[in-house]
């Protein structure tokens, strides 16, 4: 009897030991069959920097009283066209000069100087889901495959002998520079190398595409954080008066509509038409603080209350009586430019939406 207890005890110990070993030593099933370039979790990645031939983008995690968000600083280096006098001076300078070689990009070197890149034009904007997906795609960073025994000739062929594009990851105080080479024939996947090593990989182009086209792919053009079915009420005002609207049947896309909170049986289509138009409005571009017009006039504002969330107020402005349109909210963290046709129509209809009866 005692012997049996010992036998079962020994078997149990072996089983537990094997389980522990597998738990601590076996690879994650999600990583099996994949080539891992860099390990890491999205929440440990602090910043991603793109360095291209004529542009740079820095995507950083930030936090304020509204919560966490991603902020992008994008720099485009624009070469100025020489005037007639400069062009004449250049044409008479002779061939093969150092200036000409620098301008044409000839010779070796680690990259173009700031003068060769051109005049920096900086823009800032908030990013949303695109940045979230980007950080997730880098954490972990996978490769299609790893290249072995790359000769110097092969290195030149895949354009990693003198790379001009880089993806730089800052994770918990450690910086990793990923040098990018040319595209793989037929797939557009990119050859890449961890700087300072001989580790060369082929990375799916989709992982870095939003970085390469950061100016158009990364901006968050939404004005508020709520999905339409999650919105309970909307308070629409013009600065002197307002109306509170309630969304009825918000769980049914076909039957959802908007009605005055104090007149829930009012089935007038104007409320639904105006709200549908407003909720679909997007910012066209972010505006740097220094470029915000000084003569902005508030035309209308909408305060949305989402399910279980704090209210969000979107303020809509116009520069003067006939200027451009802008919007700002806590969610956008800054001013965004709006499409004139859509926004001016909303502003024109605010008065009739609120109605004379609600005016004090």
- Per-residue confidence (pLDDT) for residue 260, from 0 to 100: 95
Q: Which residues contact 86 (CB under 8 A, 6 or more apart)?
A: none
Mark whether 268 and 348 lie in a shared domain: yes
Residues forming a β-bridge with 288: none
Mark whether 60 and 190 lie in a shared domain: yes
Q: Do strands 283-286 and 67-78 pair parallel, antiparallel, or not at all (unpaired)?
A: unpaired
Mark whether 61 and 167 lie in a shared domain: yes
Higher local confidence (pLDDT), 86 or 272: 272
pLDDT of 159 higher than 50: yes
Picking from 217, 251, 284, the residue at the C-terminal end of a domain is 217
Picking from 217, 251, 278, the residue at the C-terminal end of a domain is 217
Helix (H) or strand (E) holding 86: helix 84-91
Mark whether 64 and 153 lie in a shared domain: yes
Which pLDDT tens digit goes with each residue over 274-297? 999 999 999 999 999 999 999 999
Least confident range of 260-264, 305-309, 313-317, 344-348: 305-309
Whether the ω angle into residue 305 lies within 30 degrees of 0, i.e. cis, is no
Q: Which pLDDT band, with edges at 50, 70 and 90, does 116 fall under?
A: low
Show the domain range for 298: 228-358
pLDDT of 91 higher than 70: no
Which pLDDT tens digit goes with each residue over 56-83? 999 999 999 989 999 999 999 988 766 6
Which pLDDT tens digit goes with each residue over 308-330? 889 999 999 999 999 999 999 99
- Per-residue confidence (pLDDT) for residue 359, from 0 to 100: 42
Mark whether 241 and 277 lie in a shared domain: yes
pLDDT of 172 higher than 70: yes
Least confident range of 11-20, 218-227, 303-312: 11-20
Picking from 217, 249, 283, the residue at the C-terminal end of a domain is 217
For residues 44-50, average pLDDT: 97
pLDDT of 98 higher than 80: no
- Per-residue confidence (pLDDT) for residue 82, from 0 to 100: 63
Helix (H) or strand (E) holding 102: helix 98-104
Distance CA 172, CA 38 (A): 14
101 assigned to some structural domain: no
Q: Which pLDDT band, with edges at 50, 70 and 90, does 105 fall under?
A: very low
30 assigned to some structural domain: no
116 assigned to some structural domain: yes
Residues forming a β-bridge with 69: 62
Least confident range of 2-6, 125-129, 148-152: 2-6
Which pLDDT tens digit goes with each residue over 210-241? 999 999 999 999 999 999 999 999 999 998 99
Distance CA 124, CA 286 (A): 7
- Per-residue confidence (pLDDT) for residue 80, from 0 to 100: 73
Number of domains in the chain: 2
53 assigned to some structural domain: yes
Mark whether 331 and 304 lie in a shared domain: yes
Mark whether 74 and 149 lie in a shared domain: yes
Mark whether 203 and 237 lie in a shared domain: no
- Let me know: does 189 contact 144? Beta carbons within 8 Å: yes
């Amino acid at each position: 009897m005692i012997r049996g207890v010992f036998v079962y005890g020994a078997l149990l110990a072996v089983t537990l030991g094997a389980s522990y070993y597998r738990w601590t030593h076996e690879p994650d099933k999600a990583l099996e069959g994949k080539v891992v370039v860099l390990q890491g979790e999205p929440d440990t990645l602090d910043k991603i920097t793109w360095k291209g031939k004529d542009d740079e983008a820095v995507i950083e995690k930030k936090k304020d009283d509204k919560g966490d968000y991603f902020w992008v600083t994008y720099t485009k280096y624009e070469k100025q066209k020489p005037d007639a006098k400069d062009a004449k001076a250049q044409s008479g300078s002779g061939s093969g000069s150092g200036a000409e070689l620098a301008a044409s990009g000839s010779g070796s070197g680690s990259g173009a100087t700031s003068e060769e890149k051109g005049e920096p034009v900086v823009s800032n904007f908030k990013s949303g889901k695109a940045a979230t997906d980007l950080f997730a795609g880098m954490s972990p960073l996978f490769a299609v495959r790893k290249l072995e025994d790359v000769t110097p000739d092969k290195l030149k062929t895949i354009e990693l002998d003198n790379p001009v594009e880089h993806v730089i990851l800052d994770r918990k105080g450690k910086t990793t520079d990923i040098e990018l080479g040319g595209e793989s024939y037929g797939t557009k996947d990119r050859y890449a190398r961890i700087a300072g090593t001989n580790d060369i990989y082929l990375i799916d182009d989709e992982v870095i595409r939003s970085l390469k086209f950061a100016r158009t792919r990364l901006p968050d053009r939404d004005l508020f954080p709520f999905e339409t079915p999650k919105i309970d009420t909307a308070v629409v005002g013009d600065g002197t008066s307002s109306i509170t609207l309630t969304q009825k049947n918000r769980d049914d896309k076909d039957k959802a509509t908007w009605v005055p909170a104090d007149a829930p049986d009012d089935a007038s289509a104007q409320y639904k038409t105006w709200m549908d138009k407003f909720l679909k409005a997007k910012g066209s571009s972010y505006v740097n603080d220094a470029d915000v017009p000084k003569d902005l006039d508030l035309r209308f504002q909408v305060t949305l209350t989402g399910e279980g969330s704090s209210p969000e107020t979107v303020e809509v402005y116009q520069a003067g009586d006939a200027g451009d349109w802008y919007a700002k909210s806590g969610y956008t963290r800054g001013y965004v430019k709006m499409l004139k046709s859509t926004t001016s129509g909303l502003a024109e209809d605010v008065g009739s939406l609120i109605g004379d009866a609600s005016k004090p």
